[in-house]
Amino acid sequence: MIRKITYLILLIASTGVVYLIHDNYPDLHLWNVFLTLLALTVIYLVLNIIIGEGISGRIKDAKAKYSLRKTITILSIASALLVLAIIWVEDSTALVVSYGIIGAGVAISLQDVFKNFAGGLIILTSGVYRVGDRVEIQNLIGDVIDIGIMYTTLLEIRQWVNGDQATGRLVSIPNGMVITSSTYNFTRDHRYLWDEIMIPVTYDSDWRIAKDSFLKILHDQTNSFQEGAQGDIDRIGEKYYLPAQDIEPNIYIVPTDNWIALHLRYVVPVRERRLVRDKINREIIELIERVGGIRVASESIDISDFPVLRYRKDEESL
C-alpha cells in the first residue's frame, strides 16, 4: 500500500510540474503530456488504489486475489493505451483502428478471466453443482467444498485410493471448465446410483444356486435403499423425461470362453458405494466357503500340444 501511495504522489507531482511548465511556456505537446499524466493519475487512483485495495482487502482466497490483481493490471494498461490514443492520435480513422487493436488485446488477455467469471455465474445461477455435491470434471472427481468467483474447490476422491473415498488433496478447478467440459454430478436430484459386481464362476459350478444365493445377499444388503431410491427417481421424473427404471437388485448371466460371468446389479447411496460393496463381497466369500458346488473361476490357458524339440550336439574332431 505504501508503494502504491508513493507512485500516486509521484504521478500527482509530475502532473503538477508539467502544468506549471505549460502555464509559463504554452505548448500543444506540453498540454498533451499534462492530459496524459492527469489521465494516468486518475486511472491509477481509481483502479489500483480505490478498487484494488478496497476489494482486495475483503477477499481471503489467494487465487481470487491474484486474479483480481491481474485483471486490474491489464485494465490499467488497456485504459492507459486508450487514453494515449485519444490524446495523441488526431486522425479519427487511426483512432478507430487503435480502439479495435486495444479491444482485441484486452479480449485475448482476459479470455481466461472472463471465462472463469462467466462459469462462476453459470454455476451459481443454473445450479450445475452446489457445495456438497459429488462431481467429476475432466477426470477429476471429488466433493465440492467451496465455489468461488473464479475457482471451485474439490475434496478429491479416488486417484490412488481404490474406492470412493477421499485422498486428502484439495483440487482447485477453474469455473470456466463448466463451459468447455462435461460435468458429471453424482448427487444432483438423485442420491443413489447403480453399481455392479462381476463374479466369475466355473462351468462345472452350479450357476443357478450361485445366482439365487447371490441375489438373496443383494436383497438383504440393499432393501433399506429401495424406498429412498424410488422417491428420488419419482422426483426426477417430475423434472425430466425419465423412462421407467428398475431399482430391484438383479443378476445378469454372461457366458465367456473361460467362465460364466454373473453381473450383480443393485442400487446404492452414492457415498456408501464402497461400504456396501465390501459387505456384499464378504457375504459372497463366506457363502462360497459354506456351500459346495460354487467355484470362482480364474483365467486359464489350455495347451493342446507341445512342440517337438530336437537337440543336436556337434562333436569336434580333435
What is the CATH number assigned to the segment(s) 192-290? 3.30.70
What is the CATH number assigned to the segment(s) 128-185? 2.30.30.60
Contact 144, 129 (CB under 8 A): yes
Task: Give the span between the Cα atoms of 226 and 217, in whole angstroms.
Answer: 15
pTM for the whole structure = 0.62
**Which residues sit opposite 201 in a β-bridge?**
260, 296
Q: What is the pLDDT of residue 201?
A: 94
pLDDT tens track, the chain, 318 positions: 677 788 888 888 888 888 888 788 888 888 888 888 888 888 888 888 887 777 777 777 665 676 677 677 778 887 887 888 777 776 656 656 666 776 676 666 667 877 888 888 888 788 899 888 999 999 899 999 888 878 899 999 988 887 888 999 999 999 999 988 899 999 988 889 999 999 999 999 999 999 999 999 999 999 999 889 888 888 888 888 778 788 899 999 999 988 999 999 999 999 999 999 999 999 999 999 998 889 999 876 666 666 666 666 555 544
Contact 201, 295 (CB under 8 A): yes
Q: What is the pLDDT of residue 317?
A: 47
Domain residue limits, the chain: 2-109, 128-185, 192-290
**Which residues sit opposite 253 in a β-bridge?**
262
Task: Give the span between the Cα atoms of 297 and 259, in whole angstroms.
Answer: 6
Task: Give the span between the Cα atoms of 44 and 80, in whole angstroms.
Answer: 9
- Sequence-ordered alpha helix ranges (H) in the chain: 2-24, 28-43, 54-56, 62-88, 92-109, 111-126, 177-180, 207-222, 226-239, 273-290
